[in-house]
Amino acid sequence: MTADGQSTAARDVVDVVALGESMVTFLPSRPGRLADVPSFDRAIGGAESNVACVLAAAGHSVRWVSRVGADGFGDHLVETIGGYGVDVSAVRRDPARPTGIYFRTAGDRATDAHEVAYYRAGSAASAMAAGNVDLNAVRAGRVLHLSGITPMLSEGCLGLVRELTAIRAGRPLISFDVNHRPALGRSADGPSVLLELARGADLVFVGEDEAAEVWGLVGADAVRDAFPDPETLVVKQGGRGATVFHRGDATFVPAPHVDVVAAVGAGDAFAAGFLSATLRGLPERDRLRHGHLTAAAALTVPGDLAAPPVRDHADRLVALDERAWGRLRLGPGWTDAADWADEEVRTP
C-alpha cells in the first residue's frame, strides 16, 4: 500500500473496468413539479456504473472504480452496484466529502417540463485524481470504459482521464462515451476537451444530436471526419438507429420499434450491449443490434437500469433477417418472452 492509500498489488484482469461517479437518485412517486411531489423512491444513477451493472447482469466480469462518501448513501451505492455482481473492491471512501445525490421529475428528459436537481458539487467522486485512484485496478481490464462526464467534474478528474487515455503500450481498449453534460460547467473549453479525449480512445460512442450541439457536426459522416483516429466510432441516431464506423467501413442498423415507458438509461444500456457483443467478437452489425436490444430493455422499464435480455434470446433476435428485424416491436415485458420463434416477431 502506498502513502496515498493506493494498492500496489496486481489486480485480477476482468472483462471491463468502468470508472466514474455514481449518485443516489431520488425518483418521484408521481408526476409533477419537484416542488409538488410529496415523496421519492431511492435508486442509483451514474453512466459508468449503469454500464457496469448491465454488463455484469449479462454475465461479464466487471469492476467499478470510483470514490464515495463515508456515509449511508455511499454504503447504498457500493452495496447496490455490488449486488449486480460488479467488483467494487477498488471503490474508495472519502471521510471529508459526501456522496452525490440528485432528484428528478417523472417526465421525459427531452421535455421542457423535466427538472433535475443535482447535489454533486464537492462530492467524493469529484475529488478523484491520478494520485488517489487504484490505477492497477483501473488498468486491469480488457476494456476500460470512461465517459465525458468524469473530466468535467474537476481538474483532478480531467487529469485522471488524460492519464488513462494517454497512448501507451499495453493499455486496455479504451471505450469513451461522450455523454455531454453542459450543466457541469467548463463551458469554454468543454467541447475541445471532449474532442481531445475522444480522439485518444479506441471506441467512441456519441449521439448525432450531441455532436451537432457540441461541435456543430451534422450527420454521421461529418462526425467520422472529425474523429478519424478511433478504430471504432458509433454514432447513435435516436429512434432511427445507429451507424458504426470501423476502420474504413460504415454499417447502419435501424433501431427496432419500442413502446417506450421511460426515456432514461437507454444510452448507457446501448453502450453495454455493444461492448458485450464486442467482447464476444461479433461482427459490427450484430454489435449494433445487441446495443439496440439492450437499450430497448431500458426503455421499457420505469428506471435507469434494466436487466438485459437473456443472451440466447438476444442472439435469436439479432440473427433475424432484415425484413423480420424491421418488423420487430418491443414493449414492456419483452425480455421475458424467451419462447419467440425465429420466424415470428410479435409484441408481448
What residues act catalytically?
A: 268
Judging by beta carbons within 10 Å of its beta carbon (0-12, 13-18, 19+), is residue 238 exposed, middle or buried?
exposed
C-alpha span between 154 and 122 (Å, rounded): 9
51-63 as b/e: b if 16+ CB within 10 A? bbbbbbbbebbbb
C-alpha span between 78 and 72 (Å, rounded): 10
210, 226 Cβ separation under 8 angstroms? no
